[in-house]
Every structure is written in C-alpha cells, then in structure tokens.
Amino acid sequence: MPFVSSSSSIERWLLHRILRVTGYPPLRLAMKDGVSVSSPGAAPVGTLVFQDRAALLNLVLHPEIGFGDGYSDGKIEVEGDLVALLEAAYRCWPGRSAEGWTTRLKSDWVERFKVNSARRSRSNVHHHYDLKTEFYERWLDNQLVYTCAYFPTPSITLEEAQTAKMDHVCRKLQLQPGETVVEAGCGWGALALHMAKHYGVRVKAFNLSHEQIVYARQQARQQGLDDQVEFIEDDYRNITGQFDVFASIGMLEHVGIRQYDALGKVIQRTIGKRGRGLLHFIGRNFPAPLSPWIRSRIFPGAYAPTLREAMQVLEPWDFTACDVENLRLHYAKTLDHWLARFERSASQISAMFDARFVRAWRLYLAGSLVAFRVGTLQLFQVTFAGRECTRIPWTRAHLYALAQSQEQGPKWMHAMS
C-alpha cells in the first residue's frame, strides 16, 4: 500500500508539472481510476484521462508527439468537448515574443537542412493527398476544395463559401476571358474548372497527387471543360510556358523555405514582368516549425512561413505586393464545417480505415481549427504583379460590390451567373 501511495504521488507530481509547463490551462488531468489534478482558478472545461502511466510519461517527455499519439491510440481520452479543451490549452500556452530567439534559430536550422526535393515532395504529397477520394468526399464540400473558404457572411454554407472563395481569388486576379492561367498545386481541380467555366480563361494546372489528377481530369471531361483546362501530374518546378496569371492556393506551406527561390524563379519565368498572381497559404506571426506531431503524422515537409519569409518568394524578382488579406477567422470557420461533417461520417470513415485513423484526423482538424481561432496560425492571400503589369485595380472596392448586393438579397449569389 505505501508503494501505491508513493506511485500516486509521482503521478500527481507529473500531472501538476504538465499544468505548470502549459501555463495552467483550465483543465483537469486524471489517471484512469486514479489521481487527478486541476489548475487553480476557473472551472475545468474538460478532462484529459490517461489510460496508463506510459501515456503520461510519453506526454511529459515529448509533449506534442506524446499527446497526438496518445490521443490517436486511445491512451489519452478527452472528457468534454475536444475543441473547447484544445482552445483552453492553446490560449494559456506561454506566449512568445522577442526573447524567443532560440526557437527561431532552431526553426531556421531545421528548415535549412530539410530540402523538399522533387522526389521527397512526391512522397510528402502521396502521404496525405493520395488517400482515397471517397474519404475526402465525406467531409469536404461537394467540389472538394481542401483549402480555406471565404464567408462574405458567416452564416452561408460551406459550399457557398468555397464558391465565394474561388470568386474572391478570381476577382483579385481580375481574370479576363481568353487569358491564360497556370495553377501550382491544384488539388481536385475545383479552382481551375471554376476559372475556366465562369471567367473564360484557359488553365494549366499542376499537382503531384496521382489520385487527385485522375479525379480532376474526369471532372473536366464531365463538365466539357477539357479543351480549356489541362491537368498535369508534375512538380511545380517543371512548369514551362508563358501565362498571364500565376495562382497557387495552399501549396506554399508544402514548398519549404529552401525552395522559395526556385518557386520565385518559376513564377518569374512563367508570367514575366507583365503578369500577376496570387499566393494563398497558411502562415504564422513569427517563425516556428509546425507541431512535430503534425509534421511527422499528417503533413511531412510542411512549413508555415511568416509574411516576411513568404516575401522571399517575390522580392528577388521585383514583384509588387499589391494586396495582402489575412483570412484566419475564415479558416477557423471552414474547419468548423469540416470537423462537423467529419464527425457525422466518423463511423463510415472508421470502417474505411480504423478507429485510430479517425482519432488522429479528429485531433488534426480540431487542433487546426483552434490554431486559426486563437491566432497560432494565419491564412494569407497575397496578390502580386510584375513591374510592367497594367492590370492594377484602382481600389479594392470591386471585391466588395457583391457583398453589398448580397446584404439586400436573402442568399449569397454567384458573381457570374
């Protein structure tokens, strides 16, 4: 009995330590059928229950991997709402400011030595994007847009918001019928098809995911757009040809800082001094690697740059940053929709893969939602132009002409219909 008591003391000490290191979030930590501790102050928003001591030790030794794997394996269970619990934890996480130079240096160092070669990029992409399309169909919108949506008003549906996002991008780019667009990282092809269908442009769209390219080509044929849109299974570094417009939605975070110069060179080569373009990517306020769990289990090779770092793509080539919009709250909202749809399909997804997969993806979606909600992650849309580009809008009012009419109508209406 004294042995049990002493062992409980160690557990209690470790649980306390976790609360202290994480800034005393309003949570309860408990061993299954054993000791439990809570932060002082506000009532706990939820409880983390460790199923055994190994799960507890893993979390102490490797906090992020330990939590991610423990949760995925069912060794750490959450009582209460996962999103609320993660939000409470993120908000208390000790802040970071100018003194965190070591983090920055470490982050820089890690990134310097990690080169996403064409081969490694292919493997990274395969890891995430070559999962069965039926899986993504369970929880994305009906056009399979796997990037931040745009909600002119928060109450519209995910389908409407993804269409609104594509129109927002097309209007920022001021697409004109007959122009040519190159898209780097095109997912299942929704934006390329939307541009062709509603703005009358010709699009060449690149993607490394075989599964996605096959789906996109099928969509192009079905929609009778295969003479306007060409889907190419290849690396962005192999883009050739001349275009009026460059667009990349949700690719920069997979490129890696070491390749920003190569990406800039590709953009310069394809649109030259007269072209214009848009980069849409997950970013940060200050330089830091993504969570080790996300990097090892969900997105190998990913890095979310600060706006300063992202400008390294454009600055060497004399591109002008015309407009930068931060849509982080829209990504939180998007993830809210994705997570709700994911939960509704959880049992079918579990049958497709297994329960561990469901828990891992639930944590990834919930964690991302919270990161955008509290500002750990940002979403930047950067519109840029070459020095001799003549299609520079006088103001940004044209982007909001529709938002006005929408306030008068009952529903978000499509720009071009």
Q: Convert residues 134-163 into a mask of x (bound to its own copies by CB under 8 A) and - (unbound).
A: -----------------xxxx---------
In whole angstroms, give the CA distance from residue 399 to residue 279: 17
Q: Convert residues 333-372 into a mask of x (bound to its own copies by CB under 8 A) and - (unbound).
A: ----------------------------------------
Position 394 contacts its own copies (CB under 8 A):
yes
Q: Residue from 324, 346, 352, 355 that binds its own copies (CB under 8 A)?
A: 324
Position 306 contacts its own copies (CB under 8 A):
yes
Distances (CA, A) of 273 to 33, 52, 147, 318: 67, 61, 28, 8
Q: Residue from 401, 411, 413, 416 that binds its own copies (CB under 8 A)?
A: 401
Q: Residue from 54, 115, 392, 413 that binds its own copies (CB under 8 A)?
A: 392
DSSP code string of 6-70: HHHHHHHHHHHHHHHHTT--S-EEEETTS-EEE-SSSPPSEEEEESSHHHHHHHHHSHHHHHHHH
Position 95 contacts its own copies (CB under 8 A):
yes
- Please name every residue paired with 183 in a beta bridge, in sequence order, or none if there are none: 205, 247
Q: Residue from 33, 40, 94, 97 that binds its own copies (CB under 8 A)?
A: 97
Q: Convert residues 258-297 into a mask of x (bound to its own copies by CB under 8 A) and - (unbound).
A: ---x--xx--x----x-----------xxx----------
Position 13 contacts its own copies (CB under 8 A):
no
| Residue nearer to its own copies on the CB measure, 5 or 97 | 97
In whole angstroms, give the CA distance from residue 73 to residue 188: 31
Q: Residue from 178, 315, 411, 413 that binds its own copies (CB under 8 A)?
A: 315
Give which of 253, 288, 308 is closest to 97, Cα–Cα: 288
Count of residues near its own copies by CB under 8 A: 50
**Contact in structure between 180 and 245 (CB atoms under 8 Å):** yes
Give which of 342, 378, 333, 337 is closest to 360, Cα–Cα: 342
Tokens of 42: 């506000």
Distances (CA, A) of 114 to 62, 236, 313: 21, 18, 17
Helix, strand, or coil here: 306?
strand
| Residue nearer to its own copies on the CB measure, 99 or 227 | 99
Position 408 contacts its own copies (CB under 8 A):
no
Distances (CA, A) of 187 to 12, 191, 408, 417: 47, 9, 34, 24
Position 132 contacts its own copies (CB under 8 A):
no
Count, residues in the chain: 417
Position 92 contacts its own copies (CB under 8 A):
no
**From the CB of 111, what's the least distance to its own copies, in Å?**
16
**From the CB of 97, what's the least distance to its own copies, in Å?**
6
| Interface with its own copies in residues 228-257 (CB under 8 A) | none
| Residue nearer to its own copies on the CB measure, 115 or 401 | 401
Residue that has been written with the tokens 């470490």 in this structure: 106
User: Given the rule CB under 8 A, which residues bind its own copies?
Assistant: 95-98, 151-154, 261, 264-265, 268, 273, 285-287, 306-308, 311-312, 315-326, 328-329, 374-375, 378, 380, 387, 392, 394-397, 399-401, 403-404
